[in-house]
Amino acid sequence: MDEIKREIEALRAEIEEHNRRYYDEDAPVISDFEYDALLRRLEELEAAHPEYYDPNSPTQHVGGTVKSSFAPVTHAVPLESLNDVFSFDELRAFDERVSAALAGREYSVEPKIDGLSMSLEYENGVFVRGATRGDGVTGEDVTENLKTVRNLPKRLKNAPPRLIVRGEVYMSREVFAELNAAREERGDALLANPRNAAAGSMRQQDPKVAAARKLDICVFNVQLAEGVSFSTHGESLDALESYGFYVVPHTICGTIDACCELINDIGEHRDRFPYDIDGAVVKVNSLEQRAVLGSTAKAPRWAAAYKYPPEVKESVVKDIVCQVGRTGVLTPKAVIEPVRLAGTTVTNATLHNQDFIDKLDVRIGDTVLVRKAGEIIPEVLSVVAAKRPPDARPYRLPERCPECGAPIARDEDGAAMRCTGAECPAQRLRNIVHFASREAMDIEGLGESVAANLIAAGLLSTPAGIYYLKADDIAKLDRMGEKSAQNLINAIEKSKTAGLARLLCAFGIRQVGSKAGKVLASHFGTLDALMAASEEELQDIPDIGGITAKSIREWFDNEQSQHQIRLLREAGVSFESGESVKDRRFAGLTFVLTGTLPTYTRDEAAEIIESFGGKVSGSVSKKTSYVLAGEAAGSKLSKAQALGINIIDETRFIEMISGGTGEGQ
């Protein structure tokens, strides 16, 4: 019994953690199928051992919570969850429970949209408030974000005086693909699936961000309608459609067998919907009968959600190909014999990385099991070893980039293999945008859209090529013109004297950002001196470890990097640090900045400290010499006080840089 109790408690803790990740952070780490299996196991144990009943168990409440960043909204009608079933036998058992309480029944069958559940409130036909489900009783006020949803009606036609409806905000598969393509171009992490993307968009503090995500909503239930009486669910959905809502497609079935047949059809043809679905919902159609059946603590007894299991099918690996992403990471994928999964025909499946290939021992010619759980990218699960042909060929990622021929390097902190080429076509846009970014060469006006236009027009192919652009050519681009073109040329010319620290950051050498760039520029003074340094010499520099030293040396030894440097030199870009160290009064001292200073920005104060030979750190430790604290200083100040670190304000800082010593108060 103790063992059972421990398992129940462990399951509760694990499920609550997954609830937090799914509902509150929109970042699940397991599939819906795996989550459902955990919840089902807990339900079974609790049913068999009622002595361990706990009203706070995840089986007794809806999973979400309310974030403090949004105003709370108490739902006029609770937004309940649904009881899941995973087989037609379980669905028939649900039907038997319903039929035992009712003389006759019919059902509405609808696709279960995989999005974010919302409550929408209208007064006299005007949209006044929208909220997330939250914990079912209290949600988050996301009205302004909901106003950006493309197909949400702001004003209804012939609606009752007060109307509250429930719907699902979703991101269409088409928009999701566009969004991830753009994120890949920028080198951002890809979003896992449309549901997470939609949920994250709704929780943005800036409605402009939500608007850019092109979300939609599908309404599926009337929560409250003053002055209007409906007899069936189907009738209420028809009314909602007449008011102006986009309503969930629904079919009325007279028997549970008809429901099962329709659920199969929905699952087989789920690609006909613009949104992802993870199941089908079966609801008693009569609203009077629903009232008779009632609800449990968290879910109605008159509805069930049939969850589609992740499909697993066999296919044959025809080939393994390698793609180079916008960040330079090489991703292998299996080209497989076409197989139908989750309503779509699949011809490719991800193999993640070389470690994954080695672990499964996937070979070209193998028969493999392929899964598409929910709507995620298809993946190879395992190899059917018994069906391996004699000529099956092992695969290894290439040692040189298939796009540019540069050497491939493995990330020190992971399994990713990455192209090291400074001129790799696959990384072209990302490298150029980074080179021109504020923390690097700070070329105003050369953002992502302009860079993309220059590349598309054949005017730009590498970062160094920026300095060979001509105003006349730029002016011919869409939305540019002579003035904008000349402004860009002026910004490019100005960046030539940005200095060595910014140039090193702009190169995009792994492990070398703005901070390491400053350290290297201060130590060597010129790019030529840095290029002549050995790996051992680089490692001896404070804050430059072995991994960073190796990355620097490998980058400068690369032919593509050397070509970029030659072009930059010929264009007149400064290779000198330009650092004016007034004196070394702060040499060996480390400062931490916190809070808002009356006169200086943090960046300005940091530059002053570095100009006197000091170092600026982002965290307080025993090695910290001074903490320069301004208004609203936070935890760094508290930590400094606890450690007995010297704390100075801006007045004392000005004294120190105006001729005083490096001694603090």
Q: List the structure tokens of 418.
A: 């990455």
Same domain, 33 and 90: no
pLDDT digit string, tens, across residues 512-556: 988 889 889 888 889 999 999 999 999 888 778 888 899 899 999
pLDDT digit string, tens, across residues 460-504: 999 999 999 999 999 998 888 899 999 999 999 999 999 999 999
Among residues 67, 112, 313, 359, the one annotated as catalytic is: 112
Q: How far is CA 376 from CA 111, 192, 203, 329, 557, in A?
A: 18, 7, 22, 20, 40
Same domain, 296 and 347: no
Rounded to an integer, what distance in angstroms lies between the CA atom of residue 83 and that of residue 97?
Answer: 13
Q: How confident is the model at residue 25 (pLDDT cuts 50, 70, 90)?
A: low
514 within some domain: yes
Angle at 564 (CA atoms; ends 498, 496), nearest 5 degrees: 20
**Count of H helices and E strands in the chain?**
24, 24
Instruction: Give residue 340's pLDDT.
Output: 82
CATH number of the structural domain spanning residue 485:
1.10.150.20
Same domain, 132 and 164: yes
118 within some domain: yes
Mean pLDDT value of segment 80-100: 94
Q: Within 13 Å, how many C-alpha atoms sit on residue 122's CB side?
A: 28
In this model, does residue 205 exceed pLDDT 80? no
566 within some domain: yes
Mean pLDDT value of segment 51-56: 85
Rounded to an integer, what distance in angstroms lies between the CA atom of residue 192 and that of residue 181?
Answer: 13
Same domain, 266 and 359: no
411 within some domain: no
97 within some domain: yes
Q: 298-302, 369-373, 579-583 — which is least confidently predicted?
A: 579-583
Q: How far is CA 524 from the centre of its chain?
A: 39
- How far does the chain reach from its first CA to its final CA, in angstroms? 63
Rounded to an integer, what distance in angstroms lies between the CA atom of residue 557 and that of residue 531?
Answer: 9
Same domain, 499 and 642: no
Which contiguous run of DSSP H or E holds residue 139?
strand 138-140
208 included as an active-site residue: no
Pairing of strands 344-350, 329-341: antiparallel
What residue numbers bound the domain in which 638 lies?
590-657
Mean pLDDT value of segment 44-54: 87
CB 469 within 8 A of CB 459: yes
Rounded mean pLDDT of the chain?
88
pLDDT digit string, tens, across residues 226-266: 999 999 999 999 999 999 999 999 999 999 999 999 999 99
pTM for the model:
0.58
In this model, does residue 66 exceed pLDDT 80? no
Short-list 634, 621, 627, 630, CA closest to 665: 627
Q: List the structure tokens of 43.
A: 């339900």
Which contiguous run of DSSP H or E holds residue 296?
none
Same domain, 252 and 118: yes
CATH number of the structural domain spanning residue 326:
2.40.50.140
Short-list 218, 35, 253, CA closest to 114: 218
Short-list 643, 597, 603, 604, CA closest to 620: 643
Same domain, 441 and 546: yes
Instruction: Give residue 332's pLDDT.
Output: 93
Number of domains in the chain: 5
